[in-house]
Amino acid sequence: MGQPVERESGEAAASELPPGQRLQRGWPVTHYGPVPKFRPERWEFRVFGGTADGEKRCWNHEEFTALPYATVVADLHCVTKFSMLGAEWGGVPARTVLEIAPPAADVTHVMVWAEYGFSSNLRLEDFAAERTIFATHKDGELLTAEHGFPVRLVVPHLYAWKGPKWVRGVEYMTADRRGFWEERGYHNIGDPWKEQRYSYQEGPGDGPEL
């Protein structure tokens, strides 16, 4: 089991909820659209866009799950106001992906792509945060299909829509671009401790023009 991880500044203790959130018993399933069927022979995880050497990286399922495994204890805060606290996520840290497939020096943002074209954009520093992880497991068990099997992103310090389920790749970007929910009224950054829920709350510099 992983050790509880020290929180970064600005975050509260594990038992504390961000403003406006309430505790949820159990673990509800929340997403837009159908649950994709996992086809191992067709599945690949791609890193593309502004890589340092200009080359794409591509891992099949066997290769991806053989990457260095780590665990992170983190909460899930849905913008619809429920939170799930203290899950242990296991998988491949985003930092590991950044090390193996480094971005070019001018990369500032990433788009994380999932099945059916779902996407979410992140600042490179949020993606590179110590606890951002491509989770394959929760509390020691493989993720279920509806919770994102085989891989979902968990970004502990942002609202949960910033963590796509059924991830298929990462695009390194030299400018910011809105993802699926960020184009549809949700905040470009999505910090739950600042209650950055909706795009109308964005200040100058928080995101590209809508």
Ligand X SMILES: Nc1nc2c(c(=O)[nH]1)N[C@H]1C(S)=C(S)[C@@H](COP(=O)(O)O)O[C@H]1N2
What residues make contact with ligand X under the rule CB under 6 A? 27-32, 78, 114, 118, 147-148, 160-161, 163-166
**Rounded least distance, CB 128 to Mo ion, Å:** 23
Among Mo ion, ligand X, none, what binds residue 198 when CB lies within 5 to 8 Å by partner kind? none
Rounded to the nearest angstrom, the gap between the alpha carbon of residue 59 and the centroid of all alpha carbons in its chain is 18
Residues 44, 42: Cα–Cα separation, whole Å: 7
Contacts of 35 (CB under 8 A, 6+ apart): 145, 146
Q: Which of residues 127-166 bind Mo ion (CB under 5 A)?
A: 160-161
Among ligand X, Mo ion, none, what binds residue 69 when CB lies within 5 to 8 Å by partner kind? none
**Rounded least distance, CB 106 to ligand X, Å:** 28
Among Mo ion, ligand X, none, what binds residue 163 when CB lies within 5 to 8 Å by partner kind? ligand X
Report the residue number whose CB is nearest to Mo ion.
Answer: 78
Judged by CB under 5 A, the stretch of 28-36, 47-55, 97-105, 163-171 that binds Mo ion is 28-36
User: Of the candidates 58, 70, 78, 145, which one interacts with Mo ion according to CB under 5 A?
Assistant: 78
Contacts of 120 (CB under 8 A, 6+ apart): 111, 112, 153, 161, 162, 163, 164, 179, 180, 181, 182
CB 133 within 8 A of CB 93: yes
**Rounded least distance, CB 78 to Mo ion, Å:** 3
Among Mo ion, ligand X, none, what binds residue 82 when CB lies within 5 to 8 Å by partner kind? none
Judged by CB under 5 A, the stretch of 24-32, 38-46, 65-73, 105-113 that binds Mo ion is 24-32
**Rounded least distance, CB 44 to Mo ion, Å:** 27
**Rounded least distance, CB 140 to ligand X, Å:** 16
Give yes or no for a cis peptide into 68 (omega within 30° of 0).
no
Record the tokens describing residue 4, joined without a space.
């509880």
CB 197 within 8 A of CB 74: no
Work out the number of other CB atoms within 10 angstroms of the CB of residue 141: 9
| C-alpha Rg value of the chain to the nearest Å | 16
Pick between residue 46 and residue 102 the one whose CB is nearest to ligand X.
46
> Pick from 152, 83, 73: which is nearest to 120 by CA?
152
Residue numbers of the site for Mo ion (CB under 5 A)?
30, 78-79, 160-161
